[in-house]
Amino acid sequence: MKTSKQELERRMSHFKDVCRNAELKLTRQRLEIFREVAQTGDHPDADGVHRRVRKRIPTVSLDTVYRTLWLLKDLGLITTLGFHHNRSRFDANLVDHHHFVCIRCGSTQDFYSNEFDALRLTETLKSIGSVEAVNVEVRGVCRKCRSKRTK
Amino acid sequence: MKTSKQELERRMSHFKDVCRNAELKLTRQRLEIFREVAQTGDHPDADGVHRRVRKRIPTVSLDTVYRTLWLLKDLGLITTLGFHHNRSRFDANLVDHHHFVCIRCGSTQDFYSNEFDALRLTETLKSIGSVEAVNVEVRGVCRKCRSKRTK
DNA sequence: GTTTATGCAAAACCTTTGCATTTTG
DNA sequence: CAAAATGCAAAGGTTTTGCATAAAC
């Protein structure tokens, strides 16, 4: 699901604010790299971001993409999610949400659930440590993959 | 939490059954690699398994450990879980459970929760695909790390 | 004895780092 | 102009692969 124009603009503007506040330079690379992650509904890896940003900035290098993505993570502008095929993947959706991961093709879709968000933390859990985030990962086979091999 | 003697024996015997069924050879390496994962309560990466197995079989190579771990996964005898520092981690606990991951040290602890297991799948979710497993990942700071830097 | 698994070494892969050059504020 | 970011190339770390040797059935 692609990000709406409105939401994208909100994210871009927040991104600029945070950069200015942190006295970070607003380079064309940073703008395009963030826009790419903020714009897409899937959860691209560094190489995917690089490939797409290169369409706008043909000379951008993969290491700049990596440096920028980790920087964005440090700034709290994006998060990382579980790997697939040994690659980190990035997500600019900061609203509480959960993931459906297809065990065949690895595609990940966001979904929302009041019930999942309302999960109470058990006593056992509290004794393990202090909780920062609860994320539900649902694994299964997505529609596309199901229709491919329906036996 | 270490696996009980009884449970370990159950796992070993299941492992042997599955191998025989698949006409796979029961080598000393396979036995010790599986035993190592089945025995421990933490969720070691390939290097960790290799290091520990080498105590019993000093000549075992890292690539055999990898090949065996992926084989065990294909056979459904172990599962992989989210990465930490770019390393795959392995888990022989096949009973429904959830994970607490420490965002500082990366240690992962299993926990059980009837409430979490009973999560109903919403309609939205059903439309995304068929569900195989629901896993809750709780991120936070574990007790050890909390006592280290209590500011 | 035949088939399969192992160990070795080298390759493949993703990610990070040092440094000269370019760009931003 | 000073400070910081980029691009390049090379290194670092994990995982995979080809092939001869060794082990299991």
Out of A44, A74, A91, a domain closes at A91
Closest by Cα among B69, B74, B80, B87 to B32: B69
Q: Could you tell me if B80 and B120 lie in one domain? A: no
AA identity, residue B149:
R
Q: Could you tell me if A75 and A33 lie in one domain? A: yes
Q: Do A146 and B128 touch (CB under 8 A)?
A: no
Q: What digits encode the pLDDT tens for the residues B69-108?
A: 999 999 999 999 877 778 899 999 999 899 998 888 888 8
Q: Could you tell me if B135 and B104 lie in one domain? A: yes
Q: Could you tell me if B52 and B102 lie in one domain? A: no
Give the whole-angstrom CA distance, residue A63 versus residue A69: 10
CATH number at residue B21: 1.10.10.10
Burial degree of B23 (CB within 10 A; 0-12, 13-18, 19+):
exposed
Contact of B87 with B47, CB cutoff 8 Å: yes
Residue B117 has pLDDT above 70, yes or no: yes
Domains: count for chain B: 2
User: Which bases of strand D sit closer than 7 A to a protein CB?
Assistant: 4-10, 13-18, 23-25
Q: Do A128 and B112 touch (CB under 8 A)?
A: no
Closest by Cα among B75, B114, B117 to B92: B75
CATH number at residue B124: 3.30.1490.190
Mark residues 84-103 of chain A whose C-beta is closer than 7 A to nucleic acid strand D. Answer: 86
Please check whether strand D approaches the CB of B84 to within 7 Å: no
Out of B91, B106, B130, a domain closes at B91
Start-to-end C-alpha separation, chain A = 28
Q: What is the mean pLDDT of chain A?
A: 91
Q: If you measure CA to CA, which chain A residue comes closest to B116?
A: A119
Residue A150 has pLDDT above 90, yes or no: no
**Residues of chain A numbered 63-82 and touching chain B (CB < 8 Å):** 82
Q: Could you tell me if B12 and B60 lie in one domain? A: yes
Average pLDDT, integer, range B132-136:
87
Residue B59 has pLDDT above 90, yes or no: yes
Residue B117 has φ and ψ, to the nearest 5°, of -65, -30
Question: Is the C-alpha dihedral spanning A38, A44, A50, A56 positive or negative?
Answer: negative
Domain that holds residue B120: 98-150
Average pLDDT, integer, range A31-53:
96
Helices (H) and strands (E) in chain B, counts: 7, 5
Q: Could you tell me if B63 and B128 lie in one domain? A: no
AA identity, residue B6:
Q
Q: Which residues sit opposite B134 in a β-bridge?
A: A138
Q: Could you tell me if B84 and B14 lie in one domain? A: yes
Q: How confident is the model at residue A12 (pLDDT cuts 50, 70, 90)?
A: very high
Q: Could you tell me if B75 and B121 lie in one domain? A: no
Q: In what order do the strands lie in the sheet with B108-111?
A: A108-111, A98-102, A129-142, B129-142, B98-102, B108-111
Please check whether strand C approaches the CB of B134 to within 7 Å: no
Out of B51, B76, B91, a domain closes at B91
Q: Could you tell me if A43 and A66 lie in one domain? A: yes
pTM assigned to the model: 0.89
Question: What percent of chain B is modeled with pLDDT above 90?
Answer: 60
Give the whole-angstrom CA distance, residue B90 versus residue A18: 38
Give the whole-angstrom CA distance, residue A85 versus residue B42: 22
Q: Which residues of A56-75 are buried (b: 16+ CB within 10 A; e: fewer)?
A: eeeebeeebbbebbebbeee
Eight-state DSSP code of residue B3? P
Q: Could you tell me if B17 and B77 lie in one domain? A: yes
Secondary element (H or E) of residue B142? strand B129-142
Question: Which nucleotide across the nucleic acid strands is nearest to B22, CA versus C1'?
Answer: C4
**For position B120, what pLDDT does the model report?**
73
Q: Could you tell me if A71 and A140 lie in one domain? A: no
Q: Could you tell me if B83 and B106 lie in one domain? A: no
